[in-house]
Amino acid sequence: MSDNILSPLQKMKAQLERLAGQTFNGKYLVPSLWVNPGSDLVDGKDPVQVHPGEYYLSHIEAVEKHKLSHIDPLRSLNSQLGNGSGGNWIASESIFNIFVRLTAAYDHNGDGTLGGGKNDITLNKDGVRESGTFLKAIAMLGYVKALGCTTIHLLPVTAIGHDGNKGELGSPYAIRNPYRIEASLADPLLDMNVEEQFSAFIEACHLLGIRVIAEFVFRTASKDSDWIAEHPDWFYWIDENVADRKVGETDLAVAARHYGNPIFTAQELEIINNKVKSGDFNELPPPPAEYRSFFKLPPAKETIKFNEKHQYRGKGIDAQTGKDASVRIPGAFADWPPDDNQPPWGDVTYLRMYVDENQAKPEFNYIAYNTIRMYDNRLARPELANKELWQTIIDLIPYYQNKFAIDGVMVDMGHAVPVSLMQQLISRARTVDPDFAFLSENFEIKQESVDAGYNAVVGYAWWVEYRRDGMYDLLNHIGNQGVPLPFFGAVENHNTPRAAERAGGELYSKYAFLVNTMLPLSVPFIHSGQELGESIPVNTGLDFSNKDLERLKGCKLALFDLCGYRWDGSHPMLGFMQKVIQLRRQYFTAIERCDRESFCMVQTGQADVISFIRRGDGQHAMILFNRDLDNELAGEVSLEWCLHTDCSRLENHLADSHNRKEFQVSDQKLHYRLKPGECCFFAWNS
């Protein structure tokens, strides 16, 4: 049978069968944790030397052996699994987050260095790609299944630009073309293009009943985007002679003469914040006139050139003087608050979502909070939408649905995309697949996200639960008050500090993950590497102190550089997180409930010993933990209202070398003595 009539995974299998029959000259090591589907995880084993053809072939054969019956893997699983209409299936899933380039990276020849090739640093001296690829991601599916995860969330896999790259490889969020897959995610072991390898990955996931959610960015593009030459009016342009502001510039006069985030006075900031807080988007204060003067009208297509530094340049017009001006694409910066101190996002630029009513003499021809997020009402009018750009964005998701059969989308900064655009985008995608899921990178859990059509949001658990009052505030809000839609039970993500790097290290990471996994409407979320106890962040975008940033100065960050995880050795978090997800599944009757009666805080007599019970249909699941990371704490918990009178002990289902197995009960009171950071899970029936 010829390759052209095979499915992508079948074509991959045929090529691996041929490769397996050939001699492989070189050393090829793989982590012992990358088990075949159907196998158990055994932590702490040494890496294994394999023949790559035989190794990857065995994984595909295992996928086929353990595939779900009656599943067409070339179609979305949404209608085939039928466990949640309108994308609401996400509420019962457990998500494993993969940044393919990082998560599936490995030092295959064991020389202590990832890649290092002269022409392509992702390749080692044998021509083997040591950064992550879709082929290696397929080899991780047995690991994902054994963890208990049912959905994979992919950070962007689209083609990466290079103008302004912060590291060796560039950020996956610096998107050169969202309709193309990043070429470096293809594995050179195969004679298949990257689109075919991506399709094979999704096909393998679907065979195992794993859904795939892809992340997309709708508001920004790389500064060397493929769209620039054809659609200069989709972008902002500034005078080429205006230099970028130096990071950390403190002289306001000097800063104002250079391009960066616009500088507002204290009085202007007060007005801006008050107006936005009250929902008043009329006549929002514009940036200073000097800043606005940097921006010129878009150049004609025929004047646009790609210079020797791979940067776009063109001939624009100064709207005020009518004179020609050499122009360039400006970088981006944090969109809110207006005085945010994040370093500039020099590898991306904002797309021009709206056009001015008078395009010859534009009022809003600049990048600022009121043109990129808190859109001024005079600009955000339906007739001023950049219609061709909007249509291209609206068509993007159906393209991936039809070509790759993805099951859902995570929208980067979804709350900052124009509401009308998101409504049209969601409507179009659900015409293709009524059960397609939309997730938003929104840190608030509010009704507005439901109204916009989202099925879940990222939420804010990662940001508050390590703080002194944050855990109680979280439990009160999520458990007692309730929230309108599912959120990520995430202790960390690719922009935050690693949980294992917080105070308490893995002790904190464990109890926080346990809490998040058992909350009402929580969707368990494992940011890859968390289960391995990784401490180096992927990026320093959110919640980093100046001290953190100083400590990490000079460290490679995987969002931009060639990095890998510590797959070898032992990983205490791994078995714990696997067990927690198993317990969620085992007691899902109680955990899935989201009415107020299903959640009950329990008095422990100690401020640092926190406990709550989830209950439903006769099941009770109790979480108890000591968040004091220095002291052992003891006390008792009264369970008269829910525990049998003849109960004399409760078993801790998370017992291990640190956590005790049995706790005594007398007179319907649970007696505890908890080590620093110790956490427990108890369960019983009414």
359-371 confidence digits (pLDDT tens): 999 999 999 999 9
Assign 83 a pLDDT band (cuts: 50, 70, 90). Answer: confident
Cβ neighbours for 560, distance < 8 A, ≥ 6 positions apart: 165, 166, 167, 168, 169, 170, 171, 539
Last residue of a domain, one of 546, 570, 585: 585
Of 12 and 659, which is predicted with more confidence?
Answer: 12
Assign 498 a pLDDT band (cuts: 50, 70, 90). Answer: very high
Cα dihedral 242, 243, 244, 250 sign: negative
Which one-letter amino acid corresponds to residue 80?
Q
The answer to whether 384 and 356 are in contact (CB under 8 A) is yes
| Distance, CA of 153 to CA of 410 (rounded, Å) | 8
Full residue range of the structural domain in which residue 133 is found: 3-219+389-585
Which one-letter amino acid corresponds to residue 99?
F
Per-residue pLDDT at 250 exceeds 90: no
Q: Tell me what the mean pLDDT of segment 674-678 comes to.
A: 95
Helix axes 387-404, 419-432, angle to 10 degrees: 30
State whether 242 and 335 are in the same domain: yes
State whether 84 and 148 are in the same domain: yes
Span 299-334, pLDDT tens digits: 999 999 999 888 999 999 999 999 999 999 999 999
State whether 576 and 602 are in the same domain: no
| Distance, CA of 113 to CA of 109 (rounded, Å) | 9
State whether 662 and 565 are in the same domain: no
Q: Tell me what the mean pLDDT of segment 131-136 comes to.
A: 98
The overall average pLDDT reported for the chain is 95
Per-residue burial over 617-632, b = 16 or more CB atoms within 10 Å of its CB, e = otherwise: eebbbbbbbbbbbeee
Looking at residue 270, its pLDDT comes to 97
State whether 605 and 625 are in the same domain: yes
Nearest C-alpha neighbor of 7 from the set 79, 73, 81 = 73
Q: Tally DSSP H helices, then E strands, for the chain.
A: 21, 27
Give 30-97 as a DSSP string. E-TTSPPTTPPP-TTPPPEE--HHHHHHHHHHHHHHTPPTT--TTS-SHHHH-SSGGGGGGGG--EEE
Hunting for tokens 């996928």 — which residue is that? 63
Nearest C-alpha neighbor of 576 from the set 507, 489, 651, 623 = 507
Last residue of a domain, one of 363, 383, 403: 383
- CATH number for the domain including 597? 2.60.40.1180
Helix (H, G, I), strand (E, B) or coil at 310: coil
Hunting for tokens 């100065």 — which residue is that? 553
| Distance, CA of 370 to CA of 285 (rounded, Å) | 8
Q: Tell me what the mean pLDDT of segment 77-101 comes to.
A: 94
Distance (Å) of CA 516 to CA 94, 440, 494, 586? 12, 18, 17, 16
Per-residue pLDDT at 85 exceeds 90: no
Number of compact structural domains in the chain: 3
Last residue of a domain, one of 534, 558, 585: 585
Per-residue pLDDT at 2 exceeds 70: no
C-alpha 171, offset from chain centre: 13
Q: What share of the chain is helix, strand, coil (3-state, %, to 5)?
A: 30, 20, 50
Q: Tell me what the mean pLDDT of segment 534-551 comes to.
A: 92
Looking at residue 596, its pLDDT comes to 87
Looking at residue 414, its pLDDT comes to 86
Per-residue pLDDT at 658 exceeds 80: no
* DSSP conformation class of 514: H
The answer to whether 164 and 174 are in contact (CB under 8 A) is yes
- CATH number for the domain including 561? 3.20.20.80
State whether 114 and 133 are in the same domain: yes
State whether 505 and 654 are in the same domain: no
The answer to whether 221 and 351 are in contact (CB under 8 A) is yes
Assign 660 a pLDDT band (cuts: 50, 70, 90). Answer: confident
Per-residue pLDDT at 84 exceeds 90: no
Looking at residue 185, its pLDDT comes to 98
Percent of the chain whose pLDDT exceeds 70: 99
Looking at residue 247, its pLDDT comes to 85
Assign 63 a pLDDT band (cuts: 50, 70, 90). Answer: very high
Looking at residue 1, its pLDDT comes to 46
The answer to whether 184 and 131 are in contact (CB under 8 A) is yes
| Distance, CA of 524 to CA of 582 (rounded, Å) | 11
Span 333-390, pLDDT tens digits: 999 999 987 788 999 999 999 999 999 999 999 999 999 999 999 999 999 999 999 9
Q: Tell me what the mean pLDDT of segment 197-215 comes to.
A: 98
Looking at residue 491, its pLDDT comes to 97
Span 272-295, pLDDT tens digits: 999 999 999 999 999 999 999 999
State whether 332 and 236 are in the same domain: yes
Nearest C-alpha neighbor of 624 from the set 514, 477, 526 = 514
State whether 311 and 394 are in the same domain: no
Nearest C-alpha neighbor of 207 from the set 436, 56, 7 = 7
| Distance, CA of 590 to CA of 492 (rounded, Å) | 25
| Distance, CA of 193 to CA of 663 (rounded, Å) | 57
The answer to whether 269 and 369 are in contact (CB under 8 A) is no
Nearest C-alpha neighbor of 651 from the set 617, 613, 621 = 621
Per-residue pLDDT at 457 exceeds 70: yes
Per-residue pLDDT at 3 exceeds 80: no
Looking at residue 341, its pLDDT comes to 77
Span 578-607, pLDDT tens digits: 999 999 999 999 999 999 899 999 999 999
H/E element, 548: helix 546-552
The answer to whether 589 and 619 are in contact (CB under 8 A) is yes
State whether 44 and 123 are in the same domain: yes
The answer to whether 485 and 596 are in contact (CB under 8 A) is no
Q: Tell me what the mean pLDDT of segment 450-474 comes to.
A: 95
State whether 184 and 274 are in the same domain: no
State whether 365 and 406 are in the same domain: no
Nearest C-alpha neighbor of 173 from the set 388, 407, 331, 337 = 331
Span 409-429, pLDDT tens digits: 999 988 889 999 999 999 999
